[in-house]
A and B are shown apart, each in its own frame.
Chain A
């Protein structure tokens, strides 16, 4: 099992024929993901990577039966493309795009609240259920099917954590990037809730960073009790106030968003806080391998 995507998920790619869309769609297909087609307005009717291209998301969904869309659409057009996917009734929408204006994201959230769609991102590497489906830009081979759920605001730091967990002899049920922007769709709390009821997930790793209060909200949620061990690493203890650290959302502003506060909140809520990013895999393995006796 896994959360959000599995081997049965059918994927369409918005921005399919563009450079990024082409590159990553090919790698998702090579991983074994059920990519069913793509959308590039004005290029409908053709074939790309051996798959059908559609002008609209509604058409693509109707013709292929896809339930998930991943977007590689440039920032100026991304909000509209996400809303199109929501209007077309996709179950899950994943926006990899970095650099979408904040007010556009606020409009997207307001729009999607009136639909059934679940939204992941933006500025996310996507998500992967190893061995089943890769809906994102992460390197496939570092992953291994297993029982650790991962939720992260980062890209390469997630790969680092995944790799450590794999090297330590464990694997992942699903690894999810919630995105590095100030305003995101699915949150730590939403995903903790999904991992809670996933029978195949036996522990969850949260990778947070400075900026905003998403980690504090996760801590408040965990305080009410959680049936599985939760591990947390928070990046940015040495980051200065008022400066943006790469991600649009990674900034300590007006005294909120400090790593120390997030670490304290998570520790008080019962999470196992990992101090060194180099010890994520070892800490998880030490705690979980004796409990599981299997990868």
Chain B
């Protein structure tokens, strides 16, 4: 779960990280009021859970109260499409209004999970504010690293080394070391997988400030942090939210063949096979291992009621999941919602024969397949063949 900038900054402030003066607002009138309090020049920053905001016009500088009001008006309620949001973009519901500062130097500070080594790593670079992904690829030597003990956290000498590596001396060095300690504590205490300040700036008047902050929480650890779950910003795709509510893992794509599959790997493979067969998958839907008949019903309905979907492919390799349970869920989806989308079913493994019997007895029209290749070919033909009635 990616936190919004202002949420990340509020958390980091609790761990001693200095942040600019500012306030989050949801109306242009409040934006104007905050601008008035902060002084002449302010920055308005769209609060969406995606990067690339600056280039997409989501960060604006304003001079004076009226300018702040007008620019807030122009941002609030719009959908911002950045390199990271996908084509739908994300709606701007809140703005962070902050003091504008004069920047003398910029640094990158981050603490992250190094996946391939299975460790927590703290990173520092003397060039902040740039595209950090790009820099990691082209200039990996620009990063100074320290591996963090996952039981005891960062040691003072490690924090000092990182701050010295940025070329800092005196007060800014001491302060930056303290900021690193705060970042590591914030990551560990909140079960984050990434905590990042990019950039940390040295201002004209000699202050260090976290100008932008990013924090990603581990979804698997949210049970230890119920407050975050409640605070989640509700800009999810409604179909994705409906699937999540019944415990299904669903991601919408832009094709026309809906997919209902058990298992993440098999679901990705099924989508790939549809593409190889000349079709376009409309979604990723993994019904998982402990699925109920009701969840299958809901899942099928979510897929089939997407107006872009012209055919549905069901691919089940029954292990723990019983094919007859899936079949019953599909039949119920049709009985209860009057769906009319053509579909093809491939059932294999646990109770496959019982599942096929349930479908055959239902009176529904559908195609069957023995292998996933046959299922993909038939689904592509169905999607091409019929306009939806």
A positions within 8 Å CB-CB of B: 75-76, 99-107, 109-110, 125, 137-139, 142, 152-160, 163, 180, 182-183, 207, 209-210, 212-214, 217, 233, 235-250, 254-255, 275-279
Contacts and interface: CB of A to CB of B under 8 A. Distances in A.
Contacts of B284: 239, 243, 245-246
Interface string B259-272: 00111111111111
A256 to B, nearest CB: 9
B116 A110 contact: no
B220 interface: yes
A207 B264 CA distance: 13
Contacts of A183: 113, 115, 118
29 contacts: A75-B223, A102-B113, A102-B218, A103-B150, A106-B120, A137-B319, A139-B318, A139-B319, A155-B263, A155-B265, A156-B263, A157-B263, A157-B268, A158-B265, A160-B269, A163-B348, A182-B113, A235-B265, A238-B268, A238-B271, A238-B272, A238-B274, A238-B281, A245-B249, A246-B249, A246-B284, A254-B133, A254-B136, A278-B372
Given A137-B319, A239-B251, 5 more contacts: A101-B218, A159-B349, A160-B266, A245-B267, A278-B373
Main secondary structure of the interface of B (DSSP, over half): mixed
Interface string B105-136: 00000000101101110000000000001001
Interface in B332-389: 348-350, 371-373, 376
Interface of B: 84, 86, 113, 115-116, 118-120, 133, 136-137, 149-151, 188, 191, 193, 218-221, 223-224, 249, 251, 253, 261-276, 281, 284, 286, 288-289, 317-320, 348-350, 371-373, 376
B197 to A, nearest CB: 17
A250 B284 CA distance: 12
Given A275-B276, A276-B273, A103 B268 contact: no
Nearest to B113: A102
Q: Which 5 pairs across A and B sit closest by C-beta, in order of nearness?
A: A154-B265, A246-B264, A156-B263, A157-B265, A278-B373
A245 B267 CA distance: 9
Given A103-B218, A239-B271, A277 B372 contact: yes
A102 B224 CA distance: 13
Nearest to B281: A238
Contact of A156 (B119, B120, B136, B319): B319
